[in-house]
Amino acid sequence: MVGQRKTCWLELENVTLRRQGRAILQDIRFRLDDTGIVIVMGPNGAGKTTLLRAIHGLERIRSGTIRWCDDDHADSLRQAFVFQSPVLMRRSVVDCIAYPLRLDGVARGPARKAAQAAAHEVGLTVDLEKPVRVLSGGEKQKMALARALIRAPKVLFLDEPCANLDGRATKEIEETLCRVRDTGTRIIMSTHDIGQARRLAGTVLFLHDGRLVEHAEGTAFFTAPKTREAQTYLTGGLLL
Ligand SMILES: Nc1ncnc2c1ncn2[C@@H]1O[C@H](COP(=O)(O)OP(=O)(O)OP(=O)(O)O)[C@@H](O)[C@H]1O
C-alpha cells in the first residue's frame, strides 16, 4: 500500500461538477500511478472534455478533491492543454508556436528558434512564416501540439487531438505523443477513436453519463471490459 502511494501522481476523490442544475460529473474517483498515456473514453456528452478541463483547473468543481501527488508539486503544475479546436492567433505559424515562450519573457530570436525545433518535432513541415489561419486541419493540430510542447510540460492534456484528421496526420501525432510520453511527460487525452485508444492507452478511464464506469489498464480494457457499458461501446452498440 505504501509503495503504491509513492507512485500515484494524480488522485481524484468524489469529484462532482454541476452546470445549470445538472450533474455533469458525478462522484469521480480514481488514482493514476501509471506512466503510460491515460485515455478518456465514452460516448458524446459523457463528460470527457469537462473532466479534462476540471483536472487542468479550467472548471470549478462543486465538491470533491483533485490532488497532484508528485513529490515535486510545482513540477506537476507545469501543464499544457491542446483543445479540440486549436486557439488561433493573427500571427505567423512560428510566432504562434513561440507565443508561450514570449509570455515567459524569452526574447523573440531564441523563442522563434525553439518554435522551429518544436515544429520539426511534431512533423510540421509547412513554411513557418505563413499566417496560421491558412493551415489545414491536421497542420493546425500539429501547430497546437508544438505550441503546447514548447515549454516542456510535465502534464499534457489533449481533447480529441485527431478528430477529423486523416490516417497519416493521426499517425504522426500519435508518434509524437509516444515520444513525449517516453520523455516522462504525463498525457491525459480524450478520444472517440477506439483504434487510437487501443494503440495508445496505458490506462483507460471510461465515462458514461458523467460517471466513471470503468478504470482499467489499457490491454485489459480492450480484451476484457468488465462493464456492460464498456462492452456495448467497444462493440459499436449505442449507449442510451
Ligand atoms: N457550461 C456548460 N453548461 C451546461 N452544460 C454543459 C456545459 N459544459 C458542458 N455541458 C454539458 O455537459 C455534458 C458533458 O459535456 P462534455 O463536453 O464534457 O462531454 P464529452 O464527453 O466531451 O462529449 P463529446 O464527445 O461530444 O465531445 C454535455 O451534456 C454538455 O452539454
Q: How far is the CA of 200 from the centre of ligand 1 (A)?
A: 24
Query: Could you tell me the pTM of the whole model?
Result: 0.94
Report the percentage of the chain scoring pLDDT > 90: 82
Q: Which of 152, 168, 203 is the last residue of a domain?
A: 152
Query: Would you say the CB of residue 19 lies under 6 angstroms from ligand 1?
Result: yes
Residue range 151-169: average pLDDT?
91
Residue 173 to residue 140: CA distance in whole angstroms:
12
**Residue 213: what are its φ and ψ, rounded to 5°?**
-85, -35
Q: Which of 152, 172, 207 is the last residue of a domain?
A: 152
Residue range 118-124: average pLDDT?
94
pLDDT in tens, 83-102: 988 878 889 999 999 999 99
Number of domains in the chain: 2
In a domain, 49, yes or no: yes
Closest CA to 146 of 92, 68, 74, 75: 92
For a mutational test of ligand 1's pocket, the pick from 50, 62, 83, i.e. the residue with the most ligand atoms closer than 8 A to its C-beta, is 50
In a domain, 223, yes or no: yes
Closest CA to 155 of 50, 238, 69, 88: 69
Q: Which of 109, 125, 152 is the last residue of a domain?
A: 152
In a domain, 7, yes or no: no
pLDDT in tens, 47-95: 999 999 999 999 999 999 999 987 777 777 899 999 988 878 889 999 9
Residue 224 and residue 108 share a domain: no
Classify the complex by whether its ipTM is higher than 0.90, answering yes or no: yes
Strand 211-217 with 201-208, pairing: antiparallel
Domain of 72?
A: 26-78+153-239
Residue 155 to residue 92: CA distance in whole angstroms:
26
Give how far the C-alpha of residue 90 lies from the chain's centroid of Cα atoms, to the nearest Å: 25
Indicate which residue's Cα is closest to atom 5 of ligand 1.
19
Residue 165 and residue 148 share a domain: no
Residue 218 and residue 105 share a domain: no
Residue 27 to residue 61: CA distance in whole angstroms:
11
